[in-house]
Structure 1
Amino acid sequence: MKISAHCEPPGMKMRVKIFLLHYSMLKNKKRGEEIDVSSVFWRNFGFSGGLPLVKFHFRSKIEKSVGLVSIGGIFFVFWIFQDMGVQKMTDFSNQSTHKGLISDYDLYLLGQGKHWKVYEKLGAHPCTIDGETGVNFAVWAPNADEISVIGDFNAWDTRANFMWKHQENGIWETFIPGAEAGMFYKFFIRKGERTFEKCDPYAFGCECPPKNACRVIDLDQYTWQDAEWVEKRVSFDWQSRPVSIYEVHPGSWQTSNSGTEQWLNYRELADRLVPYVKKMNFTHVELLPVCEHPFTGSWGYQVTGYYAPTARYGTPDDFKYFVDLCHQNGIGVILDWVPAHFPKDAFGLGRFDGTSLYEHADPRQGEHADWGTYIFNYGRNEVRNFLIANALFWVDQYHVDGLRVDAVASMLYLDYSRKEGEWIPNQYGGRENIEAIDFLREMNREVQMHFPGTLTIAEESTAWPGVTLPGYAGGLGFCMKWNMGWMHDTLAYMKNDPIFRKYHHDQLTFSILYSFHENFLLPFSHDEVVHCKGSLIGKMSGDTWQKCANLRLLYAYQWTHPGKKLLFMGGEFGQWNEWRDNGQLDWNLLEFEQHQGIQRCVSDLGHLYETEPALYEQDFRQDGFQWIDCSNRDISTLSFMRKAKDPEDYLIVLCNFTPNVRHDFWVGVPEISEFQEIFNSDSRSYGGSGVHNERIFSEPRPCQGFANSIRVTLPPLGVLVFRPIRAQKVKSTDKISEKKSRKTK
């Protein structure tokens, strides 16, 4: 069966014709009523060769109904029209013979919200169908009345390439012969009388902002060189391995040498950043969001292209090179990921098909007033699928090693930053966002199941219980959670003049009471050096020398405290200015010895952390930490032990939070041994005063609950780390035994 139609030559009057139209177009119309008809004839209903695809724009009077016809469960009606003047007709029958990439099984999985490789079907995919090379386009827009693809391949003609709809769940699809990778495109959508252009939610590439077209990308062209890294990651035991993260904004770490403040591209950034990170002994790099975003000043936190690395810094293959080079040099890559909200830009996800598709319609659920953004509808299968597949996509296609999930607290609470009457309780009358909780559990489970060894890290700023507990145990299933409480308390303490620190001693000791309730990461992130908060060194008390000493003390305390580590760029050399996204870091400060010293201190802390199992093996276990003295508030000192899994492997950590040198400072230790000072934040090489300890032997003198103790000198505003020397322990013990033996004789 074939349905054909034609437009008669100009000047020839059309009398009576029969057309096949979708029943829903006319079902409520009365005989003789004037109507507007703008319809795309349906194709591929199982007929040989398919139906020609013809678009009409005309006004007609309904004369009479001939009858209903059912084709594949879809009702159509034959109508006789009296022509009122054909305005225009476009013939696209050359597209109609090609079937797309989407199968019935794809439609089923997406409807269930379980299509984890949906990005291989939706979006734009270069392919060959029926011997013709082109691009297959597909988009989910169930409430749209009509969609066409516009782009370089059709001179952006909205009438040139219409899509056809899978009625089951609102997927639109078309194959365009001759289209190819590198071409730009958008979707032109009609809903009722409104038309608008939208970016492809599944686009793999975009134009460089402020332009916003999507780009056809073939992701299979890059040749990876990191097979060894990816293979080892499967067995990576992050809980008992060192994890120290250098947080980086790609556009402002360094800029080009041309003096124009031009961004480095991903390849240039990799070539400069990777050697630096190795030198500084960080294990991972965490990038602020690289998903495409229209507003540079959002730092990437207002995403419009979830599947596209921002074109500001290059192509998708350039970004693959960045990740690849990191892996070849033993550095993991973590991406900041934003599933909590998305911006209201007209070309983005908001009101995508003319209705609230990705977001809730009710602003009490669907909008974040503080940020002026939309909130995802996590209860909708296709939306949840979009986000979970996106998390998997970055690990699968770009080999990233983890995701830091932004603004988790805003997802968990329905009343987050809302007043009474501005939010809707859940089905039980509570404020917990049950749909978001289920989404986070499923996302964590799928990422960790499909890609073992991959990290998911929550920026969760409240006391929500079980963030890092498995989902089956009632938790959210994250690997780690930022310890915001420790960060706020520690920085608040360090702002105090040392004279008054004894009155705030609990701000140092309180964290241990909850440090092992979650798998915590200790962050000094970008959030602490923006919005008039000042730089980290600027938060420290005292004159310039004391500020530098306090900063070294802060970092040494962070690196020896239980928990994994994160430091934002610029902090490692003591940048004085707040971070700004429109220029590079103040690298000129490294011309000064005090800043060189801070940088050297951070590098040595990284080396110490990576080489001493006591500092990382039991970060999340109470067995890995023991107080020696936490109550010496009058002189503002702390002493504690860090322990490896091997009970013989431990370190003694001493902290002095005042500028006073403490001579003859006794510290309890668990054995008779020689102790070696293996780290001193007051070292002259770091810009310190050089107060240090030579060979230290413990004595059988009870102290702080231990049978033995050592006598040391504490440097001003400094941290010391001691390790027992096993080879010397035997000699020392022999000497003690010899003395006892001589006395016996």
Structure 2
Amino acid sequence: MSKQQSNTNTHFSLLTEQDIYLFREGNHFRLYEKLGAHIVENNGVKGVYFAVWAPNAKSVSVIGDFNDWDNDVNSMNCRWDGSGIWEAFVPEIGDGAVYKYHIVSHHKDYTVDKGDPFAFYWEQPPRTASVVKDLNYKWKDSAWKKRLAERNCGKSPMSVYEVHLGSWKHKDGGFLSYAEMADELVKYVKETGFTHVEFLPVMEHPFYGSWGYQTLGYFAPSCRFGECEGFMELVDKLHQNEIGVILDWVPSHFPNDEHGLVYFDGTHLYEHSDPKKGFHPDWKSCIFNYGRKEVRSFLISSAFFWLDKYHADGLRVDAVASMLYLDYSRNEGEWIPNENGGRENLEAIDFLRRMNEMISEEFPDATTIAEESTSWPMVTGSVDTGGLGFDMKWNMGWMHDTLDYMRNDPVHRKFHQDKLSFSIWYAFTERFVLPLSHDEVVHGKGSIFNKMPGDEWQKFANLRLLYGYMFTHPGKKLLFMGSEFGQPSEWNHDWQLDWGLLDKDYHAKMKLWTGNLNWLYKSQAALHQRDFHTEGFEWIDFHDMEQSVISYLRYADDKDDCLAVVCNFTPVPRYNYRIGVPKDGFWKEVMNSDAKEFGGSGQGNMGGVEASPAAFGGRFDHSLSITLPPLGIVAFKRGEK
């Protein structure tokens, strides 16, 4: 293509006046259809339409492999409407073309080559160019989508398997492709019974060691694992096998790599200019300017994009606490109070509410989940009533208290029983997910398995007890990969999981226990229908600190459908241990973590117990006398023998 040919093409635009109006008002949430690189036909000529927002640029041109990276060949036109959007149509190029934007700023003689903020695909790092992609894929998940509202509602079971794509499993020393992952992961998740997979950020990121949390490509799956269509196939196959997909999404900060969003047109376009608001001290990254309307359009468009183009069933929003507080990880004098003199980030709060409102309106069956580690009120409250509008929130308090409790030698647990009982006081203030996530198995924290005290048998018994307690506690569930079979080593993103452990008896039986828990959780309405309602839970007894035993009831919508759950947090078996129950009749033992098939000692209740008319605790007219196994959890359901 000659310079003369490229510069004589008729001006072409995908943008309408309405698009520009919505963009500038912060209300255009499908910008991925208009900005970026799009394969089009202009006056009978096929080519690519490019559009980029750079309001403080003196000139912008498209450079790429199609013009030998020459700044002078494909100059862009700045729109007349003051939007700051530059456009160009480059004929006779298409899918796979590699490109950047060469930007000359009005400010400080700043000149830079930038990747496309709306690129659908990127080169393999350390290369930094964007790639033109036609997102053409024929989905086969219509049956799944039709029932999404039912699957994502609070009454349905949600047991999430959290996965890091690069370290779940390797092949020939390298990553599995998206397509290879589709076959392997689907089979494994079906075996273990999880209802959903949650991927650590798949969005393109320059530094692999950030696990995706230093996102740069907000509209592109990482090329490390294959093409865009490969990731679509992975999601599609999970859906076809009745498995939901949640994506981690990071609107809280972005890396300061020169080819990315930072100082995009010679000004702080996407980030705050003052480092007291625009620089994150923990992650050495940039913080979005949530008050800028065009940035809001950019971020909410990214959220829409993954729900729309990649059929994600939900987004887990990372680091929400860092967005809510202006003084997050800052000392006195290192932050700027809001207009009322407070520490709340009013612009970020408004952004989160708007995001959740619009997702609820446009994707009513999708789920948004907040990773919010403080006691901010009404994270899952409706926007109309002053909440943030999320569907669920990670219960970090439950996670910290429970792991702190489990670390104790059983002889000392009686002094810390409040760590178990306290969570119920606030369990229904939000719609919670109980997370045992990647954050708990890195940076010297050790694996979940090695947080358990005792010898090998006791570690596995404690782990089975922990998971049993988690799956019977109110709230949805999340478990990080490798934890389901008790991997002893801490997670390392450079290595695959230690799959060879499944050849060992205890680890194989641990995986079987996790699968059994998932089956029980899904099949018993009492364990999931009322996760978010006080009517779904009732203490039997939390006062038996001396023996480190707690017992409780879980109820379905039909209150006659209930489970009695008893946990023994010591290695001492308890015989003829009495608990109260609300009904007479035979109570079948439906869960026993000490069963030999799961690696236990085999102590139990011979299939169930007949209730006696002996009252218990002043609240129950009937009771059960049970065998409570060592470091074990048992559950009973009233029913047939």
Normalised by the length of structure 1, the TM-score is 0.84
What is residue 17 of structure 1 aligned with on the other side?
Answer: none
1:355/1:692 Cα in 2 relative to 1: closer, same or farther (>3 Å)? same
What is residue 697 of structure 1 aligned with on the other side?
Answer: 610
> Structure 1 segments of 4 or more deviating over 3 A?
89-96, 234-237
**Could you tell me whether the CA contact under 8 Å between 1:447 and 1:454 is conserved in 2?**
yes
Match of 2:84 among 170, 191, 207: 170
Does structure 1 residue 562 correspond to structure 2 residue 439?
Answer: no
Match of 1:154 among 60, 64, 67: 67
Distance, in Å, in 2 between the alignment partners of 1:469 and 1:101 is 38
Task: Give the Å deviation of 1:92.
Answer: 6.5
**Could you tell me whether the CA contact under 8 Å between 1:289 and 1:299 is conserved in 2?**
yes
Distance, in Å, in 2 between the alignment partners of 1:471 and 1:608 is 35
What is residue 723 of structure 1 aligned with on the other side?
Answer: 637
Specify the code of the residue in structure 1 equivalent to 2:235: V
Distance, in Å, in 2 between the alignment partners of 1:305 and 1:378 is 18
**Could you tell me whether the CA contact under 8 Å between 1:497 and 1:541 is conserved in 2?**
yes
Q: Give the SS at the match of 2:66.
A: helix
Does structure 1 residue 134 correspond to structure 2 residue 134?
Answer: no
Please list, as runs of the form range in 1=range in 2, the aligned pairs for 1:241-280 lying within 5 A after superposition: 241-256=156-171, 258=172, 261-280=173-192
Percent of aligned positions that are identical: 55
What is residue 26 of structure 1 aligned with on the other side?
Answer: none
Does structure 1 residue 710 correspond to structure 2 residue 631?
Answer: no
Please list, as runs of the form range in 1=range in 2, the aligned pairs for 1:137-536 lying within 5 A after superposition: 137-167=50-80, 168-192=82-106, 193-219=109-135, 221-256=136-171, 258=172, 261-536=173-448
Q: Give the SS at the match of 1:682.
A: coil
Specify the code of the residue in structure 2 equivalent to 1:552: R
Task: Give the Å deviation of 1:91.
Answer: 5.0
Specify the code of the residue in structure 2 equivalent to 1:390: S
What is residue 622 of structure 1 aligned with on the other side?
Answer: 534
Task: Give the Å deviation of 1:236.
Answer: 3.9
What is residue 598 of structure 2 aligned with on the other side?
Answer: 686
**Could you tell me whether the CA contact under 8 Å between 2:563 and 2:636 is conserved in 1?**
yes
**Could you tell me whether the CA contact under 8 Å between 2:39 and 2:95 is conserved in 1?**
yes
CA deviations 1:262-289 (Å, max 9, x no partner) are 0001010110001110111100000000
Q: Give the SS at the match of 1:348.
A: coil
Task: Give the Å deviation of 1:94.
Answer: 4.1
Q: Give the SS at the match of 1:102.
A: coil
CA deviations 1:590-610 (Å, max 9, x no partner) are 111111111100000000000
Task: Give the Å deviation of 1:96.
Answer: 4.6
Task: Give the Å deviation of 1:238.
Answer: 1.8
What is residue 7 of structure 1 aligned with on the other side?
Answer: none
What is residue 24 of structure 2 aligned with on the other side?
Answer: 111
1:469/1:596 Cα in 2 relative to 1: closer, same or farther (>3 Å)? same
Task: Give the Å deviation of 1:652.
Answer: 0.4
Q: Give the SS at the match of 1:533.
A: coil
Distance, in Å, in 2 between the alignment partners of 1:289 and 1:662 is 46
1:147/1:673 Cα in 2 relative to 1: closer, same or farther (>3 Å)? same
Q: Give the SS at the match of 1:671.
A: coil
Distance, in Å, in 1 between the alignment partners of 2:47 and 2:589 is 67
Distance, in Å, in 2 between the alignment partners of 1:97 and 1:536 is 62
Distance, in Å, in 2 between the alignment partners of 1:400 and 1:724 is 39
**Could you tell me whether the CA contact under 8 Å between 1:562 and 1:619 is conserved in 2?**
yes
1:141/1:92 Cα in 2 relative to 1: closer, same or farther (>3 Å)? farther
Distance, in Å, in 2 between the alignment partners of 1:120 and 1:268 is 29
**Could you tell me whether the CA contact under 8 Å between 2:6 and 2:90 is conserved in 1?**
no
Task: Give the Å deviation of 1:205.
Answer: 0.5
Specify the code of the residue in structure 2 equivalent to 1:268: E
CA deviations 1:107-127 (Å, max 9, x no partner) are 111111111211111000000
Task: Give the Å deviation of 1:194.
Answer: 2.4
**Could you tell me whether the CA contact under 8 Å between 2:177 and 2:225 is conserved in 1?**
yes
CA deviations 1:388-409 (Å, max 9, x no partner) are 0110110100000000000000
CA deviations 1:515-571 (Å, max 9, x no partner) are 000000000000000000000010001111100100000000000000000000000
**Could you tell me whether the CA contact under 8 Å between 1:683 and 1:689 is conserved in 2?**
yes
**Could you tell me whether the CA contact under 8 Å between 2:7 and 2:75 is conserved in 1?**
no
Q: Which has the higher contact order (CA 8 A, sep 6+)?
A: 2
Deviation larger for 553-562 or 235-244:
235-244
Distance, in Å, in 2 between the alignment partners of 1:566 and 1:522 is 6
What is residue 543 of structure 1 aligned with on the other side?
Answer: 455
Specify the code of the residue in structure 2 equivalent to 1:169: S
CA deviations 1:647-703 (Å, max 9, x no partner) are 110000000000000001011111111011011001100110000102410011011
Unaligned 5+ residue runs, structure 2?
none
Match of 2:502 among 586, 590, 609: 590
Q: Give the SS at the match of 2:268.
A: coil
1:700/1:90 Cα in 2 relative to 1: closer, same or farther (>3 Å)? closer
Specify the code of the residue in structure 1 equivalent to 2:137: Y
What is residue 55 of structure 1 aligned with on the other side?
Answer: none
**Could you tell me whether the CA contact under 8 Å between 2:378 and 2:387 is conserved in 1?**
yes
Q: Give the SS at the match of 1:635.
A: coil
Distance, in Å, in 2 between the alignment partners of 1:610 and 1:384 is 38
Unaligned 5+ residue runs, structure 1?
1-88, 729-745
Task: Give the Å deviation of 1:583.
Answer: 1.0
**Could you tell me whether the CA contact under 8 Å between 2:594 and 2:633 is conserved in 1?**
yes
Specify the code of the residue in structure 2 equivalent to 1:247: E
Specify the code of the residue in structure 1 equivalent to 2:599: G
Distance, in Å, in 1 between the alignment partners of 2:178 and 2:152 is 29
Specify the code of the residue in structure 2 equivalent to 1:707: D
Does structure 1 residue 635 correspond to structure 2 residue 547?
Answer: yes
Q: Give the SS at the match of 1:634.
A: coil
Does structure 1 residue 657 correspond to structure 2 residue 572?
Answer: no
Distance, in Å, in 1 between the alignment partners of 2:243 and 2:530 is 22
**Could you tell me whether the CA contact under 8 Å between 1:693 and 1:712 is conserved in 2?**
yes
**Could you tell me whether the CA contact under 8 Å between 2:592 and 2:604 is conserved in 1?**
yes
